[in-house]
Amino acid sequence: MRIAVHQMNSGIETEHNCIAMLGGIAEAKAGGASIYLAPEMSVLIDRDRARSAQSIVAEESSAAVKMLCQAAKDKQIWVHCGSLPLESADGRRANRSLLIDDNGHIVARYDKMHLFDVDLSTGESWRESSAYKGGDGPVLADTPLGKMGLTICYDMRFPDLYSRLAQAGATVFAVPAAFTVPTGKAHWHVLLRARAIESAAFVIAPAQCGKHEDGRETYGRSLVVDPWGTVLLDMGESEGVGFADLDLSRVAEVRAQIPVHLNRRDIPPLPSPACAPDIVRAMQ
């Protein structure tokens, strides 16, 4: 099954970013892909919250959403939008993935659960939760690739989410991202390969790349990883559309060799600290 991954350098103009995505969708279809996948914040990257507010609307009012649905229908290809900043019902923002089928219908929505609130040694500080509302739970969707677990960027640091999705039947994970450069250099490859290996599932991680109009810089290197942890695609640092051919039978092959989902046991909760000395004495 052929997939297309769009590595982007999105900016502060929604229309410009959408035009780039429409070109990517057309290229994906021409290249024989059954599904096109974009990175996190594909239609808008702008850390200026006052300026970006003019472009962030509710999903039902979004011209970008309508455009992507129409493109999926016109090209008869599935579209994973990566994620878009949208206005949620309570007035806060949602970092939302939309999965659109080849008839142009939205078949799944996922709001990023784990929000990027960090202070890096480089001086970079991010507080995604100051404007965005976290999602309420995991989402699993049927796709041409099988059952896809929807996740976004920082989620990859929380393996329990992927374990829960895999136990529910996920054989592929989408991980659209806009990873910082210092964390990307240290953790990007190892975390994504770990999520693939421990779940024996494909990982597809379209990424933002390069220096953006709002001043940030992202790591790039969009990855596709197979269930054994083998990197099938690494797109380096430049914008563009890359292709990978997934042998979907690899999931069953790997899980037959190392049946982690059959071997998994429920881990009971640890005792409270007050009980710990009694347990130590009992073990002596």
Supply the residues annotated as catalytic: 40, 112, 153
Indicate the DSSP class of residue 258.
S
Comparing CA positions, the residue from 230, 120, 112 lying closest to residue 186 is 120
Closest CA to 83 of 152, 22, 6: 152
* Whole-number Å distance between alpha carbons of 57 and 62: 6
Question: Which amino acid belongs to residue 169?
Answer: G
Query: In the 8-state DSSP scheme, what is residue 52?
Result: H
By the 8 A CB rule, do 40 and 74 touch? no
Which residue type is seen at 255? R
- Give the C-alpha separation, 262 to 282, whole Å: 32
- Quote the CA–CA distance of 221 and 240 in Å, as a whole number: 11
| Whole-angstrom distance, CA of residue 246 vs CA of residue 145 | 8
Tell me how far apart the alpha carbons of residues 85 and 54 are, in angstroms, rounded to a whole number.
12
